């Protein structure tokens, strides 16, 4: 009821008389902005989905937690001080998607437990049906995301996705390819997400980049920054990609820094691999776990937020065009720390998107 009231209430307001130094009104939209969807340049589409997560859960409810925490984000960003004036608006999470995720997640948990013990799925009618239902549900989700994002881009809106787990942007990748043509993905992540149908799930969160490379012909380059937990098959897949995938592993980055290399030099190198149009796929577990303690699959190591933001600034300075983003795997907790960090990362991504498309020449 609260969210429905909030989203109806904020339709009556705009940014013309908004005071960024005032206390945030919890009845307003994301970051406390009294923005209407039709007037906003950036539309955030929450995707409350975490069916295939293989470790911790809770990310499906991150959009609601981030919305609450966003009321405490100061709208002044020294890098992009005028960004928020373009208008940011987050849609209400779709309850049908959330309910479908909750139901299929319970089924998937039983299935994962079953296969972890070496049982034969084909010999169990219930487990066979569960696998079929989860895969069909994921296909439904991909179509839903595609329809939502395509429609918004047709209205010349800039779009960001807010997960949920990292399986959510598949439909958006397809819509981005259709609108912009050839593009590249910058992936900030502790994992490579290059497994083929992990655990039997066609669209597993651990398979998102494998699927994108195989299903999105416009995706010409994948640049992965910070992976520190990956399989031999994923490593071999990168090595055999003939340069379509470039991975800057966490260990490699740290070793270079330990031996005197600078983050500036490394980021310049990273940016050089990106094509002219860049989509940012940000799994929060790419950060140090102290910043995201309840993320779905936490791993020791990772970046400080400012290290990643510095990389983003270098992309802007290079003249490359940021065409979209997703932020995934933000956990939830009683302390609100996860959503607090998530809200600030989301604000930075929104600012980058408008700076690249509205505040600079196309």
3-class SS of residue 126: helix
Structure tokens at 242: 């003939």
pLDDT per position as a tens digit, 137-185 = 999 999 999 999 999 999 999 999 999 999 999 999 999 999 999 999 9
Give burial (CB, 10 Å; 0-12/13-18/19+) of 116.
exposed
* Residue 95 · residue 63 · CB < 8 Å: no
DSSP for 291-320, please give it.
Answer: G-TT-SS--S--B-HHHHHHHHHHHHHTTP
DSSP for 32-72, please give it.
Answer: G----GGG-SEEEEEE---TT-SS---GGGHHHHHHHHHTT
pLDDT for 55: 80
Q: Which residues, listed in sequence order, are joined to residue 329 by a DSSP beta bridge?
A: none
Q: Which residues, listed in sequence order, are joined to residue 47 by a DSSP beta bridge?
A: 163
Residue corresponding to tokens 């779009």: 159
Whole-prediction pTM value?
0.93
pLDDT for 352: 97
Among 272, 220, 227, 276, smallest CA distance to 247 is for 227
Structure tokens at 14: 């705009």
Dihedral angle of Cα 92, 205, 354, 83, to the nearest 10 degrees? 70
pLDDT for 14: 60
Instruction: Tell me the fold of 2-357.
Output: 3.40.800
Q: How many CB atoms lie within 10 A of CB 204?
A: 27
CA atoms lying within 13 Å on the CB side of residue 65 = 23
205-208: Cβ within 8 A, 24+ apart: 205/50, 205/52, 205/53, 205/54, 205/165, 205/166, 205/167, 205/296, 205/328, 205/329, 206/52, 206/54, 206/166, 207/167, 208/166, 208/167, 208/169, 208/170, 208/281
Where along the chain do its domains lie?
A: 2-357
pLDDT for 294: 93
The separation between the first and the last C-alpha atoms of the chain, rounded to the nearest angstrom, is: 41
* Residue 49 · residue 101 · CB < 8 Å: yes
Across the chain, which has 362 residues, the per-10-residue mean pLDDT values are: 44 65 84 93 98 88 96 93 94 97 96 93 95 97 98 98 97 98 98 96 97 98 98 97 98 98 98 98 97 92 98 97 97 91 98 88 45
């Amino acid at each position: 009821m609260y969210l429905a009231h909030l989203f109806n209430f904020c339709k009556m307001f705009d940014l013309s008389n908004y005071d960024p130094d005032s206390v945030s009104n919890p009845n307003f939209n994301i970051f406390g902005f009294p923005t209407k969807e039709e007037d906003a340049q950036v539309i955030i589409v929450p995707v409350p989905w975490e069916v295939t997560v293989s470790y911790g859960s809770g990310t499906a409810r991150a959009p609601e937690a981030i919305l609450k925490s966003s009321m405490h984000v100061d709208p002044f960003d020294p890098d992009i001080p005028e960004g928020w004036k373009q208008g940011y608006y987050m849609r209400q999470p779709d309850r049908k998607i959330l309910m479908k995720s909750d139901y299929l997640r319970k089924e998937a948990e039983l299935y994962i437990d079953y296969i972890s013990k070496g049982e034969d799925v084909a010999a169990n009618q219930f487990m066979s049906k569960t696998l079929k239902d989860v895969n069909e549900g994921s296909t439904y989700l991909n179509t839903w995301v595609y329809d939502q994002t395509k429609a918004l881009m047709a209205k010349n809106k800039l779009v960001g996705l807010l997960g949920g787990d990292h399986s959510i942007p598949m439909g958006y990748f397809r819509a981005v390819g259709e609108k912009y043509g050839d593009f590249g993905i910058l992936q900030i992540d502790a994992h490579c997400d290059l497994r083929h149908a992990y655990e039997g799930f066609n669209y597993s969160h651990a398979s998102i980049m494998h699927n994108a490379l195989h299903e999105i012909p416009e995706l010409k380059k994948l640049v992965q920054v910070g992976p520190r937990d990956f399989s031999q098959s994923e490593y071999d897949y990168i090595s055999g990609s003939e340069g379509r995938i470039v991975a800057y592993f966490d260990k490699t980055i740290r070793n270079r820094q330990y031996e005197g290399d600078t983050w500036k030099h490394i980021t310049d190198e990273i940016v050089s691999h990106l094509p002219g149009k860049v989509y940012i796929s940000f799994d929060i577990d790419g950060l140090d776990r102290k910043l995201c303690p309840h993320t779905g699959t936490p791993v020791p190591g990772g970046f400080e937020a400012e290290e990643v933001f510095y990389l983003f600034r270098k992309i802007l300075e290079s003249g490359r065009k940021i065409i979209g983003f997703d932020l995934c795997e933000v956990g939830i907790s009683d302390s609100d720390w996860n959503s607090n960090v998530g809200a600030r990362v989301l604000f930075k991504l929104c600012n980058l998107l408008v700076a690249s498309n509205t505040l600079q020449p196309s």
